[in-house]
């Protein structure tokens, strides 16, 4: 079946009057899990489902082992896996200790064989399902938050999504903006944030 896509407005500075720019993005409707992969592979070869699952489990463990050794992992026809590291914003080679370094993400660079196979087989079709975020400007968002905090003490990302009609990504982007502007404060952990109005905003006097 074709790859479903739609056009999305590219993020821009709301303070600047610029012509809207769009980018194409895949509209995801299903996540393929290990059971799907095992079932599909078993239909194309003589290996049992148990053998295939065991190989995939071992492959995951092998990836972890080699990445922890600082190595890149290359799977022919698939691509390279390697680590991207994080460091403090004020990192200094002379004073920053190794304990401050962490894993930012596991990066992947596709093999040319994989890219060529995709280019030869992929077909695209405009999606009929619209999953875009509502188009609210910063002033409309502020007005919604004033009303929300009149009746509520705390805000989560999920509630912010529903309040504004945003997708998860758009909600996270605006919440980070509101934090950076000092309009909201996170009163919980970094990975499980709960937001309150900063002093002077949204009824918090």
- Alpha-helical regions (H) of 18-136: 34-42, 49-68, 112-121
Longest CA–CA separation in the chain, Å: 70
Kindly report, residue by residue over 97-155, the tens digit of the pLDDT.
999 999 988 999 999 999 999 999 999 998 776 655 667 788 889 988 998 898 899 99
**Dist. CA 52–CA 54, nearest whole Å:** 5
**Dist. CA 160–CA 172, nearest whole Å:** 9
pTM of the model: 0.59
Kindly report, residue by residue over 49-91, the tens digit of the pLDDT.
999 999 999 999 999 999 999 999 999 999 999 999 999 988 9
The first and second tokens of residue 135, run together, are: 């188009």
């Amino acid at each position: 079946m074709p790859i479903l896509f739609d056009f999305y407005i590219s993020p821009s500075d709301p303070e600047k009057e610029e012509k809207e720019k769009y980018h194409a993005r895949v509209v995801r409707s299903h996540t393929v899990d290990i059971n799907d992969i095992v079932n599909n592979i078993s239909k194309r070869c003589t290996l049992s489902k148990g053998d295939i699952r065991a190989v995939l489990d071992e492959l995951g463990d092998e990836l972890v082992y080699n990445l922890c050794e600082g190595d890149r992992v290359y799977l022919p026809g698939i691509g390279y896996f390697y680590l991207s590291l994080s460091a403090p914003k004020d990192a200094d080679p002379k004073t920053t200790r190794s304990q401050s370094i962490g894993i930012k993400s596991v990066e992947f660079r596709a093999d040319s064989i994989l890219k060529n196979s995709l280019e030869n087989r992929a077909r695209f079709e405009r999606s009929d399902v619209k999953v875009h975020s509502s188009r609210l400007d910063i002033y409309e968002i502020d007005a919604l938050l004033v009303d929300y905090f009149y009746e509520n003490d705390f805000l989560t990302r999920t509630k912010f999504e529903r309040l504004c009609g945003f997708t998860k990504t758009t909600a996270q982007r605006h919440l980070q903006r509101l934090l950076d502007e000092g309009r909201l404060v996170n009163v919980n952990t970094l990975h499980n944030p709960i937001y309150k109005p900063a002093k002077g905003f949204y009824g918090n006097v």
